């Protein structure tokens, strides 16, 4: 009787009387195909014997190999397929699918003690093509992304070529916690490896303009690096086209803060268009109600906890339309800002042609003529206009053929206003006029230059002639 047969006999006897003893080996173990795998156990150093069997049923199972008083033997050992560690664990030198079955290990701590029997289920794993669930709209590289979808669109989540089959679940995280949503799932097999697909039936189960959906995988340990992929879905049906912008004027270099909304938001999505008519690009998005906020920042912008967008020093190139789409309590809305960046006005004052800049300007002109006013180095583009300094003089002079020329000069503009004028019937020969920036809402841009015009050969002379 060889020693393993002896142990088996002893064992069959005790297993009837003692039943299975306490675990020192995890009862389900996952080992990766194509690697050197270990069926892990830990027996006290100095054990007398460890025997591994290739089945849970010792009546039909065969001995793989054994170690008795430090001596290893058995068919599995001789062929080089198996080995045993000093703590009793079984080593599989090249794991194949054929190694996926139940094992029994028997340990005898000393010749006089009762043998201890353990059963282990081994599952052979195959790493999926990508180590995280792939959401079709995110591509194969991203575990968080954004997309725009119709309300009846579907989202697919996939774990490809894995073993064992991974199960997938879609949940809605719009409110900051998981809510079940309906989805369809299927598993296909190809040569003992599995592909799992989960498809949502509609992307806005609990919300109207934005929703945050997570595809979550349940996989054995080690199979995936990341169990979830999250997608922020924006409704492409949302009526945000007709928004009237709130105009914000900001001096270059100052801080931009745009508030999305006053209410408690769950999701915000900021987009920017350089100017009216250009495409809106994503600049930031975030889920605001969670601890582990999945936020996407660009290099330049920051998001505050309430969803406000902050830019510490605004540049002229950052002018444009900023749109925030947000979701709260199952409803959504959007806000649009038009951000206009202006230069400080220290040097930009209108200059009337023919005036010297040092003295108060008095022009001597005919009762009909042309006036030109220049404003160089201003931002943003503004309109210039002529105005009588005293309102009561307004009916006395009339301007026509106004032409405004704007040339761009780097970030700033040079603006020229040219107009013809004529003096209406009056006996006045001197009027105080202004060339000024018109229709500007920016306090800092309220700039005007005052000058007098004396009319030679004016109406006064004519009046004197006839009276």
Ligand X SMILES: *[C@@H]1O[C@H](CO)[C@@H](O)[C@H](O)[C@H]1NC(C)=O
**Contact footprint for ligand X (CB under 6 A):** 40, 42, 56, 85, 87, 89, 94, 96, 101-102, 121, 180, 190-191, 245, 263-264, 276, 338
| Residue with the two structure tokens 């007398």 | 48
Nearer to ligand X, 240 or 352 (CB): 240
Least distance (Å) from ligand X to the CB of residue 56?
Answer: 5
Q: CA nearest 352: which of 272, 453, 446? A: 453
| Strand order from edge to edge, sheet including 183-190 | 134-135, 155-162, 193-200, 183-190
Q: CA nearest 24: which of 117, 114, 91, 110? A: 117
d(CA 199, CA 181) in angstroms, rounded, equals 11
Nearer to ligand X, 391 or 439 (CB): 439
| Residue with the two structure tokens 């080593």 | 91
Least distance (Å) from ligand X to the CB of residue 329?
Answer: 8
Reading the block at residue 20, the tokens are 């299975």
Residue-level length of the chain: 467
d(CA 462, CA 467) in angstroms, rounded, equals 9
Q: Please state, as a whole number, how many other Cβ atoms lie within 10 Å of the Cβ of residue 267.
A: 27
Least distance (Å) from ligand X to the CB of residue 428?
Answer: 43
d(CA 106, CA 50) in angstroms, rounded, equals 6
Nearer to ligand X, 121 or 428 (CB): 121
Nearer to ligand X, 56 or 363 (CB): 56
Least distance (Å) from ligand X to the CB of residue 24?
Answer: 8
Nearer to ligand X, 92 or 431 (CB): 92
Nearer to ligand X, 40 or 251 (CB): 40
Ranked by CB distance to ligand X, the top (closest) residue is 42
Concatenated DSSP letters of 215-244: EEEE--TTS-S-SEEEEEEEESS---TTPP
Least distance (Å) from ligand X to the CB of residue 220?
Answer: 15
Nearer to ligand X, 201 or 459 (CB): 201
d(CA 317, CA 197) in angstroms, rounded, equals 45
Least distance (Å) from ligand X to the CB of residue 123?
Answer: 10
Least distance (Å) from ligand X to the CB of residue 81?
Answer: 10
């Amino acid at each position: 009787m060889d020693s393993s047969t002896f142990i088996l006999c002893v064992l069959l006897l005790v297993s009837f009387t003692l039943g299975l003893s306490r675990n020192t080996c995890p009862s389900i173990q996952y080992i990766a195909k194509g690697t050197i795998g270990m069926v892990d156990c830990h027996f006290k150093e100095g054990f007398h014997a460890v025997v591994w069997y290739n089945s849970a049923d010792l009546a039909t199972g065969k001995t793989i190999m054994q170690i008795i008083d430090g001596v290893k033997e058995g068919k599995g050992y001789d062929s080089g397929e198996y080995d045993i560690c000093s703590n009793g664990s079984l080593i599989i030198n090249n794991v194949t699918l054929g190694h996926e079955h139940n094992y029994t290990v028997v340990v005898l701590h000393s010749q006089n003690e009762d043998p201890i029997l353990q059963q282990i289920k081994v599952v052979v794993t195959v790493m999926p093509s990508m180590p995280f669930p792939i959401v079709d709209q995110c591509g194969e590289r991203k575990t968080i992304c954004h997309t725009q979808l119709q309300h009846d669109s579907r989202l697919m989540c996939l774990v490809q070529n894995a073993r064992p089959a991974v199960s997938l679940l879609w949940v809605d995280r719009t409110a900051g916690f998981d809510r079940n949503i309906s989805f369809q799932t299927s598993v296909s097999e190809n040569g003992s490896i599995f592909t799992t697909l989960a498809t949502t039936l509609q992307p806005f189960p609990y919300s109207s303009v934005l929703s945050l959906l997570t595809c979550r995988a349940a996989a054995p340990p080690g199979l995936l690096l990341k169990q979830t992929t999250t997608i922020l879905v924006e409704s492409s049906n949302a009526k945000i086209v007709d928004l009237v912008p709130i105009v914000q004027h900001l001096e270059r270099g100052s801080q931009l803060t745009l508030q999305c909304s006053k209410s408690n938001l769950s999701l915000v999505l900021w987009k920017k268009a350089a100017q009216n008519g250009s495409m809106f690009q994503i600049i930031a998005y975030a889920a605001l109600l969670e601890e582990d906020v999945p936020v996407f920042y660009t290099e330049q912008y920051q998001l505050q906890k309430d969803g406000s967008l902050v830019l510490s020093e605004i540049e002229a190139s950052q002018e444009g339309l900023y749109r925030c789409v947000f979701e709260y309590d199952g409803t959504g809305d959007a806000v649009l800002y038009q951000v206009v960046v202006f230069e400080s006005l220290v040097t930009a004052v209108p200059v009337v042609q023919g005036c010297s800049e040092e003295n108060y300007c008095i022009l001597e002109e005919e009762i009909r003529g042309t006036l030109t006013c220049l404003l160089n180095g201003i931002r943003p583009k503004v309109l210039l206009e002529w105005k009588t300094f005293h309102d009561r003089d307004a009916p006395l002079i009339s301007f026509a053929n106004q032409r405004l020329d704007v040339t761009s000069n780097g970030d700033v503009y040079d603006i020229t206003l040219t107009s013809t004028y004529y003096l209406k019937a009056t006996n006045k020969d001197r009027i105080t006029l202004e060339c000024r920036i018109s229709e500007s809402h920016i306090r800092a841009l309220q700039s005007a230059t005052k000058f007098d015009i004396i009319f030679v050969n004016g109406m006064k002379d004519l009046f004197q002639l006839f009276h």
